[in-house]
Structure 1
Amino acid sequence: MRSLGNLEGAIMDRVWSWQRPASVRDVLEDLRRDRSIAYTTVMTVMDTLHKKGLLRRHSSGKAYVYEPTTSHEAYSAALMQEALAAGGNQAVTLIHFLERLTPAELSALEEARARVARKDRSE
């Protein structure tokens, strides 16, 4: 899984945050608040995201409506797992990662680990 390009990320951020199906026109209008961009450019990138498996689509009249296939958090977790696998020595990679965490990030990590431990005990 590759990380997203700038426009891909901007599109996915919108689709993830809306939590509803979105047309190319919906995304285009929102993107145009920040930049000048063509309909065909947004359509092409959304089609690419569909082909990559990040968006699913279905027909709605003459156009497609898109929605994410996974949450933003699940996508980020997959990227993190891929980076860990590619980092060589996983223990050393994790040490470097942990050394860079802010106190708030470390707290979130500890809470996540506690949740996983509770889930494991309940199964």
Structure 2
Amino acid sequence: MTRRPLGQLEAEVLAALAGLGGTARTAELVERLAGKPAYTTVNTVLHRLHEKKLVTRTRTGRNYLYRLAVDESEFVAGRMHDHLRHASDPGDVLSRFVQTLSTDEAHRLREILNGPGDDD
């Protein structure tokens, strides 16, 4: 059985979990997420992420403590690469993406592309 790609809320839960140091309880994630989704909704998402082996969980009393099981940077980069691979014109997608970067993000991208030891 093939798994569907992550949904938007799944991605937001992973990002929130990473923002909390990689470990959190459901209630902490609910507070961190935009729009404050229902506790049960976040629990369902966490259950799915656990089934997909993207988070681990440890029972603490009546609740679970969730922990990232993947490196966030590597995971998000992989998702971006998947999107590019499915685009009919990856160059156009990259161009549009770069146009939406903030000044700080664009500067950081230039640093990465220049590589270590290269001058601007």
TM-score range, shorter chain: 0.5 to 0.7
Structure with the bigger RCO (C-alpha within 8 Å, sep 6+) is: 1
Unaligned runs of 5+ in 1: 119-123
Q: Structure 2 length normalisation: TM-score?
A: 0.67
Higher helix share: 1
**Aligned with 2:49: secondary structure?**
helix
Q: Distance in 1 between matches of 2:5 and 2:94?
A: 23
Instruction: Specify the alignment match of 2:69 in structure 1.
Output: 69
Given residue 17 of structure 2, which amino acid in structure 1 is its aligned partner?
V
Q: Distance in 1 between matches of 2:10 and 2:87?
A: 25
Instruction: Specify the alignment match of 1:96 in structure 2.
Output: 92
- Measured after TM superposition, the shift of residue 106 of structure 1 is 4.5
**Residue 84 (1) aligns with residue 80 (2):** no
Instruction: Specify the alignment match of 1:35 in structure 2.
Output: 36
Seq. identity, %: 23
Q: Distance in 2 between matches of 1:85 and 1:3?
A: 16
Q: Structure 1 length normalisation: TM-score?
A: 0.66
Q: Distance in 2 between matches of 1:2 and 1:32?
A: 20
Please identify the structure whose Cα radius of gyration is greater.
1
**Aligned with 2:67: secondary structure?**
strand
Aligned residues: 110
